[in-house]
Structure 1
Amino acid sequence: MTGFPARGFDHVETWVFDLDNTLYPHHINLWQQVDVRIRDYVADFLKLPPEEAFLLQKDLYRRYGTTMRGLMTEHGLDAHDYLNYVHAIDHSPLQPDVALGTAIAQLPGRKLILTNGTREHANAVLKRLGIDPHFEDIFGIIEAEFEPKPSAATYQRFFARHAIEPSRAAMFEDLARNLEVPHRFGMTTVLVVPEANRAVERQPWELEGRDAAHVDHVTDNLAGFLAAIPLVPRKQP
């Protein structure tokens, strides 16, 4: 894939997962709801027509990691008001994913969520998928002090808060750019891409990077990928 040897999983003791478009497929109508609400918030906040608001939303997202961070930096946004609005969505399109739950449960070690969304949104997603019992904790945008991935400071806060040794951890993400810093810190990285032949609403740059040197593995089937990882039995303490 990249010409570099891919890191494996036999040493991994902490499994870190992004949330949206990673733990559930891109084509499920969930993040699209958030996307529309972000556009509407930007339009109302800056008094722009929807088309201009959408273009600005995506520009800020690309430059700052989240539209919210861009609005905070350039327009003095109240982040709490923004987050309450954009995450007020219908989570019912998500259904329990037994295969994913089984695959996550068999992973040896700790499992954590690292998301640019909120803890409340993450909890709602995990419960709808039926996989919430498998996760130790959620590190969201508030815990990150509103500084989103791919900022190195956010990963450092996450590692410190949960006493994680990055060289003994793996990161699963749907954006390749969010894997560059984890890989640099020593994590095994996995890029979760849209399922083949499924139409998805993404910006072209969001789908780039699967051949990057900081991407160790690529999959369009997270449950199947996890189930196929050859796991080394861990010694009991």
Structure 2
Amino acid sequence: MLVNITVFIILAPLATWLFPVYVPPNTTATVHAVLPAGACNATGVLYIDKPVTIMCANPGLSPAAFSGYIAVEYRAPPPPPAPPPTVSPLIVVATGVAAAAGLSHLASNRRELLAAPVLPIVARIKRAAADDPARREILRVVEQMGAATMSQIAKATGKSWGAVQWHIYVLEREGKLKSIRIGAFTYYFIDPKKAAEVILSSVDPSALPPEDREKLDFLAAAG
């Protein structure tokens, strides 16, 4: 779950502003605090496992404007393993035909008898997997957003974290989806150049470590 708070306040002289960050039990939160340095007690990226309070103070004698944003991502517990696929009648038939073809192969020592009966059924199974509507929806969401985290994909598709994680794993294995880790977030994308533009617009480039900036430069050049 991602919580993003945009901050724009004008503090009176000698006043403070407090923003409490709550952490559920057995959870770690990643806090991106892009706030004025020196005036606020937390800036940059924080990893917390207990509640904290981000405070900005105006020690001056005149009102002061503070602006920035605070992004808090709560780490979800590991998803349950994907349920074992049900054995469809199509796969049962494929298994039976393969066994029969294997016996024919042993009897005649001809390889074409082993492959020929199975190929049409395997092709139908592959087409069924490629046409999975959940994966088509994930690809559509990622292409529309340019780059998205797993929590953003789950929210946009209305699917559970575990289901999205499983489908993303399959899509990455098939080469239809790519990923890049920037800071504490992993972004999934299709078009590298579009992904670099989206990620750069959502983070402060000056706050990124050199290796993350190099990754984004490489991503933009790859497009």
Same topology, TM > 0.5: no
State which structure, 1 or 2, has the greater radius of gyration over its C-alpha atoms: 2
Give the TM-score, by structure 2 length: 0.27
Q: Which structure has greater strand proportion?
A: 2
